[in-house]
Amino acid sequence: MKNLSTAPMLTTKRLVLRGPERSDLPEFTRFMTSAPSMAAQGETVTAEQAWFGFLTGIGHWHWHGFGFFTVIEKQTGHPVGRVGLIKHSGWPDIELAWHLFEGAEGKGFATEAAMAVKKWACEELRFDRLYSYIDTRNTRSQAVARRLGAITDGTRAAHEPEAEVWVHSMKSH
């Protein structure tokens, strides 16, 4: 398959992180339209909106030089989620974000993949700080942020009032 972006390939012990490919669209669409984690936050979309979101993600790589990686479990070869860096129009800072597909939660994939992205952001992109905007009720993502060394003082994100701002220092890399 063909990487549709400028994304490099990153590897960890159990995962391969690569740029989006056409074959990722069905799983992405299923996740965006029906995943319980998306529904719980009131963030599900239509299939058409998912398609536009998928293309936006590809464009994000070309515009910024970073974006979401598709996370593949080496053992099965199946996509388990998306982890990467995003900075949408009007956002104050670059966000380190993660979304795991159903059945992939609770295995440490988000932490493992986000650590690889954080290292890449520090070493290759020379970023000195990243942020995560995490819904105050999303305790699983808060736990991932803590494992990544992020801290929050409870400040809310201006662009997303239900989300706390978590700060990732890059000094450890």
Q: What is the CATH number of the domain that holds 33?
A: 3.40.630.30
User: What pLDDT is attached to residue 88?
Assistant: 87
H/E element holding 48? Answer: helix 47-64
Residue 34 falls inside a structural domain? yes
Domain count for the chain, please give it: 1
Residue 49 falls inside a structural domain? yes
Residue 87 falls inside a structural domain? yes
Residue of 62, 131, 61 whose CA lies nearest to 70: 61
Say whether pTM exceeds 0.95. Answer: no
User: What pLDDT is attached to residue 139?
Assistant: 93
User: What phi and psi, each to the nearest 5 degrees, are found at residue 66?
Assistant: -155, 165
Q: What is the tens place of the pLDDT at every residue in 111-130?
A: 999 999 999 999 999 999 99
Q: With a cut of 70, say whether residue 172 has pLDDT above it.
A: no
Per-residue pLDDT averaged across 35-57, rounded? 83
Residue 28 falls inside a structural domain? yes
Residue 98 falls inside a structural domain? yes
Q: What is the tens place of the pLDDT at every residue in 70-109?
A: 999 999 999 999 999 999 888 889 999 999 998 899 999 9
Alpha carbon distance 22, 3 (integer Å): 8
Q: With a cut of 60, say whether residue 173 has pLDDT above it.
A: no
The mean predicted confidence, pLDDT, of the chain is 92
User: What pLDDT is attached to residue 42?
Assistant: 73
Residue 152 falls inside a structural domain? no
Q: State the residue range of the domain holding 48.
A: 10-126
